[in-house]
Amino acid sequence: MQSKQTFDSSRTRRTCLLLVLATTVSPPSFGQGTAFQYQGRLTYQGTPAEGLYDFTFTVFDAVQGGNALGTGRQTNTVQVSGGVFNTTLDFGPNVFTGAGRWLELGVRTNGPGPIQILSPRQELLPTPYAIHAATAGSAQALPANTIQTSALADNAVTVAKVAAGQVVKSLNGLKDHVVLQAGNNVQITTNGNNLTISASGGGGGLTLPCSGSTASANPALQLANTGAGTGLQVDSGDGSGVFGRSQKNIGVFGQTFGDNAAGVVGRNESASTGQGQAVFGYASGNAVGVLGMSEGNDGISGRSNASGKSGVLGYTERSDGWGGYFVNTANGEALHAEGRAWVSGEMSVAVLTIRGGADLAEPFASSDGPLAPGSVVVIDPERPGKLRLATEPYDTKVAGVISGAGGVQPGIALRQDGALDGGHHVALTGRVYVLAGAAFGTTSPQIC
């Protein structure tokens, strides 16, 4: 090949730039990549070239010198007919970004031999429509609805390209197709861009009545209030405020770590005279209604500030039952009362041990006024039902001795409310100290 080879690049520039721009701005859905068709004219010794020729194509960023861009030199064997040739070029992405570009061509006849670099480099210029495409990259705004979904490539917009604070990029670590599913008694509705999660029953977003179950070892419902308020408050009309039920364990469990607090508190503020309870325990079968147990204090403690009312009340509606039942399995006291104990009905014991006194006494009124403990008293014949101080020896009307002398108090005191409930306790039997003198001889203990 002689050096006088000419290359008509005017049409090449128009065709190249037109094809390049069409390739780079066409959506990927068209099936196009970075390759484009290149057409040129080659003359050899002043006449149109014919046959096979080897071409090299390199894109530079300057008319002279500069840097080779893309995949570098590309060599193609091309059929030239009548001086015209067509070939496909592909320099990869990020070559035609809008800045100036120049194409350097080399050529030789097909076969061995040096490549002749043609000069000058051919500037790649845009066609009129490509000029518009070049300015489109700096567009500040587009009319509404200009870009449709079909114009965007799949997976074209990434998270890195979305500014912070503009969209939700992940939801609790979930990405892409996150689906909100409504659980029991929960509704999810949409209205435009509004997403509403609600419960049809109201009550703070909880549908009532609410019923659910779980097989978890953790609490089915757990609420925490770190302030001074109540952790859980339940208000009811005619039904129970709180109903706890367990198949194999505790129905309601209360726990506190305060010194002056209670694990469970029940309060009845009824103003009527009915039989309402602050705490009610019920059991069927062989269970207990309320069980109190303590490792360091009282298992159950009852207190009342009302007149005539008890701190703890127990009753039964069966003739073979007990209103209260106490057991000590260690042979200790099953029931201990400090103060007086009062039984309105019959009381039956197997063994009765009196610890506060040693005699059996009965109250009598005195005709002589107050009498000292240990005084021997006789029946006053002039005042039936009253006693007087004994003044004669071997008086056959002796009734007994006034109890309390020597610190020995009545062990059992007999009385009848409203009839025999006043006067001095007179020892009828048992141990009692007697006032006596030695004026008429020595004295000795006697059995009455």
Residue pLDDT, tens place only, 38-54: 888 888 888 999 999 99
- Higher-confidence residue: 82 or 16? 82
Would you state the structure tokens that stand for residue 251, as one six-digit string?
A: 């129905």
Q: What pLDDT is stored for residue 130 in this prediction? A: 62
Per cent of the chain over pLDDT 90 is: 7
**In this predicted structure, which of 122-126, 160-164, 177-181, 414-418 has the lowest mean pLDDT?**
414-418
Q: 77-81, 192-196, 240-244, 337-341 — which one is most confidently predicted on average?
A: 77-81
The CATH architecture to which 359-430 belongs is: Beta Barrel (2.40)
Would you state the structure tokens that stand for residue 397, as one six-digit string?
A: 């009307």
Mean pLDDT of 245-258: 80
Mean pLDDT of 63-78: 86
Residue labelled with tokens 């894109």:
59
- In this prediction, residue 170 has a pLDDT band, given cuts at 50, 70 and 90, of confident
Would you state the structure tokens that stand for residue 400, as one six-digit string?
A: 């007994």
Per cent of the chain over pLDDT 70 is: 82
186-210: per-residue pLDDT in tens? Answer: 788 888 888 888 766 544 556 667 7
Three-state DSSP at 397 gives coil
- Whether the model clears a pTM of 0.75, i.e. scores above it, the answer is no
CB-CB contact of 184 with 212 (8 Å): yes
User: Which residues, 6 or more positions from 58, have their beta carbon under 8 angstroms from its beta carbon?
Assistant: 68, 72, 73, 74, 103, 104, 106
Assigned CATH topology for domain 5-134? Immunoglobulin-like (2.60.40)
Would you state the structure tokens that stand for residue 254, as one six-digit string?
A: 């209360």
Mean pLDDT, the chain, integer: 77
87-110: per-residue pLDDT in tens? Answer: 888 888 888 888 899 999 999 888
Give the domain ranges of the chain.
Answer: 5-134, 359-430
The CB density around residue 401, as the number of other CB atoms within 10 Å, is: 24
Distance CA 306, CA 311 (A): 9
Q: What pLDDT is stored for residue 334 in this prediction? A: 81
Q: What pLDDT is stored for residue 60 in this prediction? A: 94
